[in-house]
Amino acid sequence: MSSLEQAIAAVNRSSKIVVVAGAGISTDSRIPDFRGPNGVWTKNPGAEKSATIQSYVQDPEVRRTAWRNRLDSPVWSAEPNRGHEALVALEKRRKLHTLITQNIDGLHHLAGNNPDLLVEIHGSVREVMCLSCPYRAPMVRALHRVRAGEEDPDCPDCGGLLKSATISFGQGLVAADLERAQAAADSCDLMLCVGSTLSVYPIANVVPIAKVAGATIIILNGSETEMDGLADFVLRGSISEILPQLVGGAAAAPN
Ligand SMILES: [Zn+2]
């Protein structure tokens, strides 16, 4: 049996699967990743610095640039790919316990995963939040104001700064989301990590949590990850090709 066939058998045996998804699952939807070989941060390390919450709050030019970038984001025309669809199939098989995603593109929602099973640990670009009050709203409304000429639209409730409802560098994760992710990791029988280098903490710690709890660990990624040493199966290659085979429920292909 190949390691893919063994991994398929492990998925078929499992009933409480936690998926950890990263940027690699969205690159086939033409959304660039951040830390891969062609990643945004890899090619332009300065962009990582300007993505901090401190510079966003302090520098109006950073905010104006951010709003222009949001208008032009590839997210708005992106569609879910076969990798996202495979995770919907996994949910239909009633095996998906929780889908923890590091992606902020909202494509798991668009693909049709149940929002109740989804933890968007780094937030979503499809909403805006106020940095001073609880105001939240769909991003499209704020972008409409930008198109109408506002360079840095403020909060309609309190006049505070608006930002996409994502976790920027320098911002802590939402505690309830992190706790939910950790609890899911602690109770799953299989953890499937897809398209992430598993190098961003604290969320990468869900992998050792699942390992200690006795779960089978499968890692599918285009390159090495920091958690390969903990994995029962490491699969390399195209996510949109391999993931449907891995979780789709088809019998392992005969040799
Ligand atoms: Zn506000």
pLDDT for 4-33, tens place per residue? 999 999 999 999 999 999 999 999 998 877
Task: Kindly tell me if the per-residue pLDDT of 203 is higher than 50.
Answer: yes
Q: How far is the CA of 114 from the centre of ligand 1 (A)?
A: 29
| pLDDT value of residue 253 | 46
More confident residue, 18 or 37: 18
Q: How far is the CA of 102 from the centre of ligand 1 (A)?
A: 26
| pLDDT value of residue 139 | 96
| pLDDT value of residue 40 | 60
| pLDDT value of residue 168 | 85
CB 126 within 8 A of CB 141: no
Which of 114, 113, 97 lies closest to 14, judged by CA?
97
Band of pLDDT at residue 254, cut at 50, 70 and 90: very low
Distance between CA atoms of residues 32 and 37, nearest Å: 10
Band of pLDDT at residue 51, cut at 50, 70 and 90: confident
Task: Kindly tell me if the per-residue pLDDT of 47 is higher than 70.
Answer: no
Distance between CA atoms of residues 157 and 74, nearest Å: 29
Task: Kindly tell me if the per-residue pLDDT of 255 is higher than 70.
Answer: no
CB 191 within 8 A of CB 217: yes
Considering only 45-54, 152-161, 164-173, 243-252, which range has the smallest mean pLDDT?
Answer: 45-54
Distance between CA atoms of residues 216 and 212, nearest Å: 10
Rounded mean pLDDT, 117-122: 96
**What pLDDT, in 10s, does the model give residues 69-107?**
899 888 899 999 999 999 999 999 999 999 999 999 999
Task: Kindly tell me if the per-residue pLDDT of 239 is higher than 90.
Answer: yes
Q: How far is the CA of 19 from the centre of ligand 1 (A)?
A: 34
Tell me which of 3.40.50.10860, 3.20.20.80, 3.40.50.1220, 3.90.79.10 is the CATH number of domain 1-31+79-122+173-255: 3.40.50.1220
Rounded mean pLDDT, 31-52: 64
Q: How far is the CA of 250 from the centre of ligand 1 (A)?
A: 49
Rounded mean pLDDT, 99-128: 96
Look-up of token digits 């990624």: 221
| pLDDT value of residue 36 | 57
Taking the C-alpha atoms of 209, 213, 216 and 221 in order, what is their torsion angle to the nearest 10 degrees?
0
Q: How far is the CA of 31 from the centre of ligand 1 (A)?
A: 30
Q: How far is the CA of 54 from the centre of ligand 1 (A)?
A: 18
| pLDDT value of residue 44 | 64
Task: Kindly tell me if the per-residue pLDDT of 249 is higher than 70.
Answer: yes
CA–centroid distance for 164 within its chain: 15
Report the share of the chain in percent with pLDDT over 90. 80
Distance between CA atoms of residues 246 and 11, nearest Å: 7
Question: CATH code for 34-77+123-166?
Answer: 3.30.1600.10
Which positions are annotated as active-site residues?
122
Long-range contacts of 208-217 (CB under 8 A, 24+ apart): 209/182, 209/185, 210/18, 210/185, 210/186, 213/185, 213/186, 213/187, 213/188, 214/189, 215/18, 215/185, 215/188, 215/189, 215/190, 215/191, 216/10, 216/14, 216/189, 216/190, 216/191, 217/190, 217/191, 217/193
Which of 222, 178, 176 lies closest to 36, judged by CA?
222
Sequence ranges of the domains in the chain? 1-31+79-122+173-255, 34-77+123-166
Rounded mean pLDDT, 227-241: 97
Rounded mean pLDDT, 177-187: 98
Task: Kindly tell me if the per-residue pLDDT of 224 is higher than 90.
Answer: yes
